[in-house]
Amino acid sequence: MRVGFIGVGNIGRPIAGQLLKAGHALTVHDVRREAARSLLDGGATWVDSPAAVAGACEVVATCLPGPREMEAVCLGPGGILEGVKPGALYIDHTTTSPLLARRVHGVLAAKQVDMLDAPVSGGMEGAETRDLLVMAGGDRAVFDRARPVLDTIAKRVLYTGGIGTGSIAKIMHNCASFTLDLVMAECWTVGVKAGIDPATIVDVFNQAALGHQMSLKVRLPATYLRGNFEPRFSLALARKDLGLAVELARATDTPMRLSLLCEQELVEAMARGWANRDSSIFLTLQEERAGVQVRLPDQ
């Protein structure tokens, strides 16, 4: 298959390398030709613009720094739109705005070009070993068409729904990841300042429930995500434990901004009379404000 790849940086280059390794005829472009050197040495063909990539290939993929670059490569002068042919497939691996993905999808659809927004998770190391998760949004038939290409670059490929949902999945996951990192940093700094060895507190996190993603894999699917708030670990106990952590933070003069916000939520939930319900019930306060529920279907 004639595949074009635009954006061969730290993640794009090894993804494109997987396509080359699988035997696809690969055409590449980047703002820096030297970034593509290993691909060119491996048999890829260089062209001087995204339009030239699109004109030469039946499948065009991008992996770019962000929305601004993706928009320019797709819709700007010398961009994909200028060269792409009806019947082509465009796959965007950029972590981008779902609103932009939907706009580009509409423009390309007018030219009878299919599109998926398909960001990846796993980083440079995962791209090099194919240990990636692809989150692909678009028409189901387009996803099925693209599946052989996606399977070439990633061990795990997940269909997320309509166009833009791949980007929604990726940016919400990353938002949660960075926020959780900050919460852990809050807890670790309090712990170390209060007298525990850094290696020990990190080891505790790795070996206790958090390290095994207990909440995401076990507790929340059984409670909050099912709307079942029979107590497994009561709100009253959660409020007590978080209160002890915040108390220690104050005693050690260590800020815990996110933890204080969480404490306020627990206090509000307690005021609703939910002390003896499962602790996850406090998450429904966010649902009330958002006007939406997050529930998994019964299995």
Q: Which residues contact 280 (CB under 8 A, 6 or more apart)?
A: 219, 220, 223, 224, 229
Burial of 179 (0-12, 13-18, 19+ CB in 10 A): exposed
At residue 259, what is the residue type? S
- Per-residue pLDDT at 51: 98
Q: Residues in the chain, how many? A: 299
DSSP run (H or E) holding 41: helix 37-41
Domains of the chain: 2-167 (3.40.50.720), 170-290 (1.10.1040.10)
* CA–CA separation, 134 and 173 (whole Å): 13
DSSP run (H or E) holding 27: strand 25-29
List of E strands, 64-198: 89-92, 114-117, 120-121, 133-137, 156-161
Return the ∠ at Cα 171 (arms to 165 and 177), rounded to 5°: 135
Question: For tokens 């993640």, what's the residue?
Answer: 11
- Check: CB of residue 13 under 8 Å from CB of residue 71: no
Q: Work out the widest C-alpha separation in the chain, in whole angstroms.
A: 67
Q: Which residues contact 53 (CB under 8 A, 6 or more apart)?
A: 4, 5, 6, 27, 28, 29, 47, 60, 80, 83
The residues annotated as belonging to the active site are: 170
DSSP labels for 43-77? T-EE-SSHHHHHHH-SEEEE--SSHHHHHHHHHST
Tens-of-pLDDT digits for all 299 residues of the chain?
A: 999 999 999 999 999 999 999 999 999 999 999 999 999 999 999 999 999 999 999 999 999 999 999 999 999 999 999 999 999 999 999 999 999 999 999 999 999 999 999 999 999 999 999 999 999 999 999 999 999 999 999 999 999 999 999 999 999 999 999 999 999 999 999 999 999 999 999 999 888 876 557 788 888 999 999 999 999 999 999 999 999 999 999 999 999 999 999 999 999 999 999 999 999 999 999 999 999 999 998 76
Query: pTM of the prediction?
Result: 0.90
DSSP run (H or E) holding 178: helix 165-194
The first and second tokens of residue 223, run together, are: 């409670």
* CA–CA separation, 30 and 48 (whole Å): 8
